[in-house]
């Protein structure tokens, strides 16, 4: 008896097996079954369509399936068993509607995946809506676009005639994660001129970075776009070369500068911790 036969004997289902389209969401879990015979994996579903019944499956938003104990143990370090389904993708599956321990229809049990990236389905419009970017019109930062697959708001902010790219890391489906990084990004934008001056001075004051930059300027003079012979001149040469700010969810962030081809076209980054303290300047 294979694991799916055992699982179906252990649980209660409604009706016979059917074929479904499933639009996969975000969120998963694993637990040992009460008899310790196998592990039960779950994954959220945005929408489920019963192909045989030609109707949407209402209320059920969780998929579930069993895996052998040894398979779980082998993949536990990297949680590889969660990789069976990808968020935002439509799958064609064979399965059954399953009752919870409380006697309510709560799960779509997955016996077999028949097709990945299914198209031309009754869930295509659901998928378009689910994957559609979120557009935020911010009073300070302007237009920000959140691509759900990337987990980043992205926008442009004009500073001294240059477009600075803004990246803000969030969990798109949890607005609670938006507040802190957005607040940090707004504060940065509102004080960008003074912060730029501080960051450039901080970069130039790093002895190792300055010495390496000066050596490159002297060795590759014809290729470098900027010139300097003192730390003050180095800081001044970086004026107008800010490229981006990347704000992390915890409020820490990185500001990147064009290196003027001093380091062969790399960036010079300043890392700022969640307390607003500069902690590192380096070429990357």
How high is the pLDDT of residue 227? 87
How high is the pLDDT of residue 164? 97
- The parts of the chain modelled with pLDDT lower than 70 are none
How high is the pLDDT of residue 169? 95
pLDDT in tens, 223-247: 888 989 999 999 999 999 999 999 9
How high is the pLDDT of residue 46? 93
Q: What is the phi/psi pair of residue 51, to 5°?
A: -65, -45
Q: What is the phi/psi pair of residue 248, to 5°?
A: -85, 165
Q: Which of 160, 170, 152 is nearest to 192 (CA)?
A: 160
How high is the pLDDT of residue 280? 94
CATH number listed for the domain at residues 3-126: 2.40.50
* CA 25/CA 99 separation, integer angstroms: 20
Per-position b or e across 131-157, b if 16+ CB within 10 A of its CB: eeeeebebeebeebebebeeebbbbeb
Residues of each domain in the chain carrying CATH 2.40.50: 3-126
How high is the pLDDT of residue 220? 77
* pTM for this model (two decimals): 0.72
Q: What is the 8-class DSSP label of residue 133?
A: P
From first CA to last CA, the distance across the chain in angstroms is 56
How high is the pLDDT of residue 99? 96
* CA 97/CA 111 separation, integer angstroms: 11
| Angle in degrees, 0-180, between the axes of helices 192-205 and 179-190, rounded to the nearest 10 | 90
Q: Which residues contact 194 (CB under 8 A, 6 or more apart)?
A: none
How high is the pLDDT of residue 147? 87
∠ CA 37-39-41, nearest 5°, is 150
How high is the pLDDT of residue 116? 97
Q: How far is CA 158 from CA 188, 195, 277, in A?
A: 13, 15, 24
Q: What is the phi/psi pair of residue 87, to 5°?
A: -60, 135
């Amino acid at each position: 008896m294979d694991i799916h036969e055992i699982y179906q004997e252990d649980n209660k289902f409604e009706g016979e097996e059917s074929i479904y389209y499933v639009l996969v969401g975000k969120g998963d879990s694993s637990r040992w079954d009460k008899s310790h015979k196998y592990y039960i994996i779950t994954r959220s579903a945005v929408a489920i369509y019963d192909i045989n019944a030609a109707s949407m499956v209402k209320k059920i938003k969780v998929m579930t399936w069993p895996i052998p104990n040894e398979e779980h143990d082998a993949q536990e370090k990297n949680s590889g068993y969660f990789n069976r389904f990808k968020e935002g993708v439509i799958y064609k599956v064979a399965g059954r509607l399953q009752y919870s321990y409380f006697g309510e229809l709560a799960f779509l049990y997955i016996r077999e995946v028949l097709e990945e990236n299914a198209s031309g389905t009754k869930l295509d419009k659901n998928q378009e809506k689910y994957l559609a970017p979120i557009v935020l019109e911010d009073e300070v930062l302007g237009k920000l676009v959140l691509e759900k697959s990337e987990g980043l708001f992205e926008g442009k902010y004009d500073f001294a005639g240059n477009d600075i790219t803004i990246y803000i890391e969030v969990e798109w489906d949890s607005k609670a994660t938006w507040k802190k990084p957005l607040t940090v990004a707004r504060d940065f934008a509102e004080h960008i001129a003074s912060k730029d001056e501080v960051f450039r001075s901080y970069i130039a004051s790093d002895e190792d970075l300055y010495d390496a930059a000066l050596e490159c300027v002297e060795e590759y003079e014809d290729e470098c776009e900027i010139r300097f012979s003192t730390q003050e001149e180095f800081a001044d040469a970086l004026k107008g070369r800010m490229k981006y700010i990347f704000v992390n969810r915890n409020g820490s962030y990185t500001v990147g500068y064009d290196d003027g081809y001093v380091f062969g076209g790399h960036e010079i980054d300043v890392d700022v911790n969640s307390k607003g303290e500069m902690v590192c300047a380096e070429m990357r």
